[in-house]
Structure 1
Amino acid sequence: MEQASQIAFGRQDPCGRLAGTHDKWDLLAALTHAAAEFELSHRTLGVLKALLTFFPNRALPAEPGSAIVFPSNRKLMERLNGMPESTLRRHLAALTRIGIVSRKNSPNRKRYARRVGEDTAMAFGFDLSPLSRHAAQVFDAALDAKARTERLAVLRDTVAVLRQQLLDVADDTAEALLDSARKLLRRKPCEPELAGMAEALRAEIARCAPQEETQESRLAARELSGHDSRNERHIQDSVKKDSDSEGPQACAHSPRPQCSDANDSATEKASDLSTVLRACPEVQSYYPGALRSWQDADRIAETLSPMMGIEMPVLSDARAAMGRKEAATAVMCMLEKLGTIRSPGAYLRRLAQKARAGQFSTAPMLNALLQSPRPAEVVS
């Protein structure tokens, strides 16, 4: 795109009209907003500000040669807090090249003025009038830059909101898009990039949203519960417990007086560290003898999560949703079945969503692992 500085700055008004006078600080503020349009760095704007301080009046005239300042490089360097002279020369050359200021050189290229009484008869230095002459262009560019900044802010917020919506309904296939959106928001993208990402997120949400219930049931079926036969055994135990509660005498005549013992501790298993270690022996191969308290379990789950492909924000979200104990237990259970989980991060995120809805407990996960067949121990 052709830069604004290449269109008008430093050129004579084609209609021969002058723009009158303008407040020099208003012009500087507008130029700061439109700095990208004119390829100006903040240090170049600092040099322009220093030049403007040498012009005594606030109103900057537009007539050529009417706003000449002639400070020495040493004086400019003092007002720029000791900027090196080579750097100062580079930024002065940039202002001249863009056309914001123009040079009026003396025969020996020195900057000075000749006075007659109190009036300046002749001056050689930097002419600031082009800035006032092209004030309309500067103000228009500043308005365009402000509008573009506002549109970018709205688009960024839109992408952030859509990404969060997709997180709530996404399946494993959306991980790449979610990651791309996260990386895009960390940069300074242009409007087309943000608009394209917003459209992609909307399309993915439309694809995933109707299948949300199906996805939940599919994830529930994959909840580290082993084969269907193990689920059936757990369901049968639950039914048996219900029938026993309806007929308390049935247990009295039963040859197994401890008929409900297998389920009485179902809720306790999630808080019993020894039960968790029995169900999840894999963690002991990473940290033998390290789990002596729930604080140890929480710390080890935090260490294991990146190794399993679970990002720290996902683990933090799970801790907030289900508590540190349950989150640590879920991570250790997932470690046991890691080979069967395609995306551990998405899986733990889904468990956290179910926990917020009051539909999650680690007890079924522990039951399934405890009932799964273990390799026979070799006795020497």
Structure 2
Amino acid sequence: MQTHVSTTPFGRRPMTLGQISSQMAAKAVKPDAVAHKWQVFQDIREARELLGATDRSLAILNALLTFHPETALTGDAELIVWPSNEQLAARANGMPATTLRRHIAVLVDCGLVIRRDSPNGKRFARKGRGGEIEQAYGFDLSPLVARAQEFRDLAEAVHAERRAFRVAKERLTLLRRDIVKLIDTGIEEGVPGNWGKVLLDYQAIIARLPRSAPRQLVEAISAELSALYEDIREALESFTKTQNPDGNESHSGRHIQNSNPELHTESEYRIREKSEAGGTAADTDNVRSLPKRELPLGIVLDACPGVLELAQGGEIRHWRDFLAAAELVRPMLGISPSAWREAREALGEQHAAITLAAIYQRADQIGSPGGYLRSLTERAKDGKFSTWPMIMALLRAKLDAQKTQAGADGAKAEEPRPSDGLRASEALLRSLNKPRPR
């Protein structure tokens, strides 16, 4: 007796054109087609995002494959399995019934299995007198044979995309490392050029890179960084050729040229070291009269408002924002990485950043920012320098300027107010208003 093969789902489950397409592909499979079920499952797992499958649905597919006794799936074999929900849930690591039904529907929608539902929706097989299966109702695995090559191609495409993404990220990492180190080299070796602008250009490109970026964006940013790298490399190579035409370092030695014509030597700078560093005895007494605590961020920003120009969005709310802005200040002042590293080791990262902001605030009065920082670093190593008198000197100068302006306008000068709403204490104001020794 001829049996009818069910093509529609039981109950209220709808029939879709996608399911008809899957049935057509399964019907067209060649009888001699052979697929290794676990290899096909591996390909499906690799390409699950392209197929729209989920990890739970793949757990169910894995369980369904265990109900088929043969490892090789052939086009002319009966590939219907009929486990009950209890058996299927047990092999799917105890998945709840509602979750089980939901993810079985995902497998059907993805075209990985076909429902062969019985008239009452039960799954079972009817056997003949000889024990052979005459009719089975359950899940048809024939799409795995019919689409085996498709799954393999999708898996290879996923592998190729992963390799391309890995190569793109490696290129981006190498470019970032090379650019940062070449900028430091240009500053430390005194190569002429606006290295502060180059660093800002680099920061602007990197700022467009989110935490999780697609390969296309990584490649686009890498292309921009590559162009910037070529410009930096060309500038360094051109300068190297002009300084050492024969290319032999052993003949001429290391050449360091400072691109700032107004920079002074260390010995020239030490003559006025005390006056600029704020290291007089009177200033030391003022510092000792201040509270023994860290400088508040608001007071530092009130004394050094210039650093706000370099902060992202023109706003600094936390110390980490302040430290990030200080990293931009260093190359703009032409301070070498080695001098900055020594300052952080001697002063600590936070106080080194405060010192740098103070130097930036008085950049028009300091001929050699790098030499100034090195001098302050040496004084700090000897315990003769603190950021308190430097910030107090800037606040005193600001207060004097306000008083002068107020006198000219015939109005009372306002007290200095930190940018984040903090008010200076009475002791601090008394210290600032102390007459400085002549």
Where on the TM-score scale, by shorter chain, does this alignment land: which range? 0.5 to 0.7
Q: Which residue of the other structure, out of 213, 216, 224, is the alignment partner of 1:200?
A: 224
Identity of aligned residues (%): 24
SS at match of 2:40: helix
Measure the CA separation in 2 of the matches of 1:24 and 1:12: 17
Contact 1:34/1:141, CA 8 A, preserved across alignment: yes
Q: Which residue of the other structure, out of 290, 293, 300, is the alignment partner of 1:290?
A: 293
Q: 2:199 aligns to what? A: 171
Contact 1:306/1:312, CA 8 A, preserved across alignment: no
Report the Cα offset of residue 16 of structure 1. 6.1
Contact 2:29/2:75, CA 8 A, preserved across alignment: no
Measure the CA separation in 1 of the matches of 2:230 and 2:260: 24
The 1:334/1:18 distance shift into structure 2, 3 A limit, reads farther
Measure the CA separation in 2 of the matches of 1:28 and 1:312: 54
Q: Which residue of the other structure, out of 97, 103, 106, is the alignment partner of 1:94?
A: 106
SS at match of 1:17: coil
Would you say how many aligned residue pairs link Structure 1 and Structure 2?
Answer: 304
Matches within 5 A, 1:256-275: none
Report the Cα offset of residue 7 of structure 1. 12
Q: 1:121 aligns to what? A: 134
Do structure 1's residue 236 and structure 2's residue 258 form an aligned pair? no
Contact 1:69/1:125, CA 8 A, preserved across alignment: yes
Q: 1:340-371, CA deviations, whole angstroms, 9 ceiling, x for partnerless residues?
A: 79xxxxxxxxx9xx9xxxx9962167899999
Report the Cα offset of residue 334 of structure 1. 1.4
The 1:135/1:237 distance shift into structure 2, 3 A limit, reads closer
Report the Cα offset of residue 112 of structure 1. 0.4
SS at match of 1:362: helix
Report the Cα offset of residue 212 of structure 1. 5.8
Contact 2:113/2:144, CA 8 A, preserved across alignment: yes
The 1:21/1:310 distance shift into structure 2, 3 A limit, reads same
Per the normalisation by structure 2, the TM-score is 0.56
- CA RMSD, aligned part only? 4.9
Contact 1:162/1:201, CA 8 A, preserved across alignment: yes
Measure the CA separation in 2 of the matches of 1:95 and 1:150: 28
Q: Which residue of the other structure, out of 157, 179, 187, is the alignment partner of 2:212?
A: 187
Q: Which amino acid aligns with 2:322?
A: M
Q: 1:52 aligns to what? A: 65
Per the normalisation by structure 1, the TM-score is 0.63
Report the Cα offset of residue 126 of structure 1. 0.2
Report the Cα offset of residue 179 of structure 1. 2.5
Q: Which residue of the other structure, out of 325, 340, 352, is the alignment partner of 2:346?
A: 325
Report the Cα offset of residue 99 of structure 1. 1.4
My pick for the range that moved more, 114-123 or 29-38, is 114-123
Q: Which residue of the other structure, out of 156, 164, 167, is the alignment partner of 1:151?
A: 164
Do structure 1's residue 84 and structure 2's residue 101 form an aligned pair? no
Mind listing any 5+ residue stretches in structure 2 that lack a counterpart? 1-17, 184-197, 240-255, 295-316, 331-336, 364-368, 380-384, 401-431
Q: Which amino acid aligns with 2:167?
A: V
Mind listing any 5+ residue stretches in structure 1 that lack a counterpart? 223-227, 239-259, 292-302, 342-350
Report the Cα offset of residue 198 of structure 1. 1.3
